[in-house]
Structure 1
Amino acid sequence: MRAYSGPVPRSPLALAALATVAVPGLDAYDVRRPAHPGTDYDIAVVVDAARRRWVVRAPVHAAAGAALEAEVELLAGLDAFATDGTLPFAVPAPVGFAHLPEGGRAAVHEEIPGRALDVAELEPGPGLCASLGRAIAAVHELPTSVVENAGLPVYDAGAYRARRQAEVDEAAATGKVPPTLLRRWEERLEDVALWRFVPTVVHGDLTNERVLVGDGTVSGILHWGDASVADPADDLSWLLVAAPPDAADSIMEAYQLRRTELIDPHLTDRALLAGELALARWLLYGVRSGNEDVVADAVAMLEDLDEHTRTSPSGVAWGSDAPTAPVAAVSSYA
């Protein structure tokens, strides 16, 4: 078997050809690359003669190929919930596949209408904020079997807490985390009450680029390859950190109203802690990849966060001027 395609990306025309193989009758009229193609897949948007738009994804290495297969299994289950209205948004369920000569296969799905969420534009109230809260809550209400059946990770609360502790220990071993910040994290990880939660289905990599919006509602959620059964706080962290505070309040209100029997008094606390630990994962990403620029960036943000938490009257880490790690890079090491 030949190796995966490697660092040279497949051309848009090659991807369009794969789409025509994957979807019988697809007559490709135009093809273009997306605005944010990513690094694990070659991606193109194919427009057919009827002006329908299709997305083709081809893995560029074996790990991405394996991840795609697990995601495909999950998406088949999620699509059923989207079809019956359990999920109030669309998911990119593949409608066809094309085998690749080097191994693995490319997947094609219909493009979901909408644009990437702009967190800065969120306004409190019953509109998009409420839709976001309900959408995330709907994911967390799914039966965990949809993840288990796809062979994706399943954690109980204790195992997940141990996972986060291992990350903090590894970050501490670099000697680059400010001692007061490190103590802050260790105290929260040792607080057993904080980690009493019921694991749920989580997307695991929610960012503004993953969430599509249109007409004031969430129209779709993309990139489910990091889904697992884990801490629901992780899916809320990015919004609580990045959204305006009053908008975040509206999101959480809608989220809690949509959840059934939600008894988790420390959900917000863990979500904010997850935002802080994202900086540790950004540091580890730089160390593991040998990227000194990333390491320097992470160290600067950790120092800023340390200063922010020590000078904030409430001791709360996040605010409009608090540092946030680049989520796309962090997620690959989450």
Structure 2
Amino acid sequence: MTGPGDDFDGGWDNLVTLVDSRWVHRSPRFPDREAQLRREAELLPWLAPQLPLPVPLPEVVSQHPLTVRYGYLPGGPCPGTSAAHGTAMGRFLKALHAVDPDQAVRHGARDAGSWHAELQETLARMERDVLPLLPDEVATTGRDLLSRMGVQPARSGVVHGDLGPEHIRVVGDRVGGVIDWGDSCVGDPALDLAWTMLGASPAFADALAAAYEPDEQTLARGRDWHLLGPWHEVLYGLGEGGPAFVESGLAGTVARLQR
């Protein structure tokens, strides 16, 4: 049995513990992460009935320190190789991105303007702190990527914002839940295609595309989000994460830009 002091997921933003093999407790690792945890607690109970897959239903159980809990959603990380998983996630994303964004903001989601302003700040940090670390052979490609990502997306929708293997929980051929909604907002739907379409296997990605039916503009933007992914790891390493994250993030950035 996992106790209250045992961090069982090692996330960047929150300390996550499993209590009595039943409850997931989450508390912010840093004070500036508290707001996003409160947004999750407000948004997800409203959002859950509109989605075809389970999501956490968090409730605040302590204010000092802030702690929210939800019932444990069983399963392991999604390997991104199963067509069945891809179909389920395509249907999930189609439903998520169709949610009324104005209603979502009323229920705690960050609005599109706030999201875009934060993106601009992040891109500026990447240009200042990450771009100079890139080798000359990919620096121009990296600069062009940052320029493209600064353009306002053609449409906005409710997005998860951090879909990857660890946040899609699977049990056999079934997707058991989608967790960790700290980055959710009204933003660019293509962001949710970064790993699901570009990082997963062809079987998963093709099945997701058949269910979701992205247009070419959205898919191209998803490719750019995929290229940008490791840049966030570098920024995290330059901040709280330390040199190991800088090294691995730069390696991933160069590899993706070269491809």
TM-score range, shorter chain: 0.7 to 0.9
Distance 1:146 1:217 in 2: 30
Note the 1:237-316 alignment, pairs <5 A. 237-256=194-213, 264-289=215-240, 291-306=242-257, 309=258
Larger RCO: 1 or 2 (CA < 8 Å, sep 6+): 2
Displacement after TM superposition at 1:183 (Å): 2.2
What is the total number of aligned residue pairs between the two structures? 256
Residue 123 of structure 1, CA deviation: 3.4
CA distance in 2, matches of 1:59, 1:297: 24
Alignment partners' CA distance in 2, 1:138 and 1:199:
14
Query: Partner letter of residue 9 of structure 2?
Result: H
Cα deviation, residue 66, structure 1: 3.0
Distance 1:196 1:107 in 2: 33
Answering whether residue 33 of structure 2 is matched by residue 69 of structure 1, we say no
Cα drift, residue 241 of structure 1: 3.0
How far apart, CA to CA, are the structure 2 residues paired with 1:265 and 1:163?
Answer: 27
8 A contact 2:199–2:226 mirrored in 1: no
Aligned residue number for residue 92 of structure 1: 56
CA distance in 2, matches of 1:34, 1:54: 13
Amino acid in the other structure paired with 2:79:
D
How far, CA to CA, are the matches of 2:170 and 2:39 in structure 1?
26
* 1:37 to 1:267, Cα distance in 2 relative to 1, 3 A: same
Distance change >3 Å, CA 162–CA 265, structure 1 → 2: farther
TM-score, scaled to structure 1: 0.65
CA displacement 1:104-140 (0-9 Å, x = unmatched): 4422322223332122xx234xx22211111122111
Retained in 2: the 8 A contact 1:71–1:150? no
Whether 1:54 and 2:13 are equivalent positions in the alignment is no
**The one of 127, 131, 135 aligned to 1:169:** 127
Unaligned 5+ segments in structure 2 are none
User: What is the Cα deviation at residue 213 of structure 1?
Assistant: 2.1
Larger radius of gyration: 1
> If the length of structure 2 is used for normalisation, what is the TM-score?
0.82
Note the aligned Cα RMSD (angstroms): 3.2
Distance 2:226 2:118 in 1: 16
Task: For residue 175 of structure 1, give the secondary structure of its aligned residue in structure 2.
Answer: helix
Which residue of 1 is the match for residue 18 of structure 2?
A: 44
The corresponding residue for 1:139 is 96
Q: Specify the code of the residue in structure 1 equivalent to 2:168.
A: V
TM-fit CA distance, 1:159: 5.3
What percent identity do the matched residue pairs reach? 25
